[in-house]
Amino acid sequence: MAKIIDLYKDIRPDDFVTVMNIDVNCDEYEEYEMYEDYRDPNEPMKMKRRFYQEGYNHRDKFQVMWDREKFSVKPGQTRRFPGYIARMFVKHLTDHMLNKEDPKGEKNYLRNQTKRQELYNKIIVDIESLRKEPELTEGQKATKQVEELNIEEKVEESVSEPEKVQEPSIQELRNACKKQNIEYKVTESKKDLIKKLK
């Protein structure tokens, strides 16, 4: 049995992800059921739920919903979303594109990891991680302050030690690939990106 790859592991919920709607020239109409809660005037203590149909044409946009809120992107355009919405957008758009290629499910495209990877790489334009350094504890702040006050001693110690080169982040490597027009996959490791840049 083929190993299932988690394509979405690069997308963390707190990242900002730029996605592209690659579903151009599609005239499919998608319909779904919505609901709203209301109070019946005859029974004010009871909440009731009213269901209704809504829909949209893929020619106008591709849309996903999160907690009954709609998030859409027009065909051929890009939009930034938080990671948790982007993951859902990528998954549903990928499923839609695979179903379009194989409407009867004869070729089993929905389970084809290679095709999913290709679409994933087209849909994801950029992943921007906004992870902040953790807040320092009082003890860590004191240690940092002492180190800053005694910087002269550190300078003398560092003269004999060889300089350590800081390795670039994966996002910096992706940006460098973009600048040099080098193709890469979002799932590639730092090592792979460094090799491509050499």
Residue 54 lies inside a defined structural domain of this protein: yes
Residue 108 lies inside a defined structural domain of this protein: yes
What pTM does this model have? 0.59
Which residues face 91 on adjacent strands?
none
Residue 17: how many other CB atoms lie within 10 Å: 26
Residue 159 clears pLDDT 80, i.e. is over it? no
CA 118/CA 195 separation, integer angstroms: 21
Residue 148 lies inside a defined structural domain of this protein: no
Q: Rounded to a whole number, what is the distance in angstroms from the first to the last CA of the chain?
A: 36
Q: Do residues 85 and 64 lie in contact, with contact meaning Cβ atoms separated by under 8 Å?
A: yes
**What's the gap between Cα 25 and its chain centre?**
24
CA 178/CA 36 separation, integer angstroms: 45
Q: What size, in residues, is the chain?
A: 198
pLDDT in tens, 116-158: 889 999 999 998 886 666 777 888 888 888 888 887 665 555 5
Residue 150 lies inside a defined structural domain of this protein: no
pLDDT in tens, 98-110: 988 887 777 778 8
Residue 104 lies inside a defined structural domain of this protein: yes
Helical pair 83-101 and 113-123, crossing angle rounded to 10 deg: 130
pLDDT in tens, 21-62: 999 989 999 998 988 888 888 888 888 999 989 999 999 999
CA 152/CA 159 separation, integer angstroms: 11
Residue 183 lies inside a defined structural domain of this protein: no
Residue 18 lies inside a defined structural domain of this protein: yes
Question: Nearest CA to 124 among 73, 87, 84, 96?
Answer: 87
Overall number of domains in the chain: 1
* Residue carrying the six token digits 């592991």: 9
How far, in Å, are 12, 166, 172, 176 from residue 169 at the CA level? 16, 9, 5, 11
**DSSP, res 111:** G
Task: Calculate what percentage of the chain has a pLDDT beyond 90.
Answer: 33
Residue 16 belongs to what domain range? 7-38+47-132
Residue 1 clears pLDDT 50, i.e. is over it? no
Residue 172 lies inside a defined structural domain of this protein: no
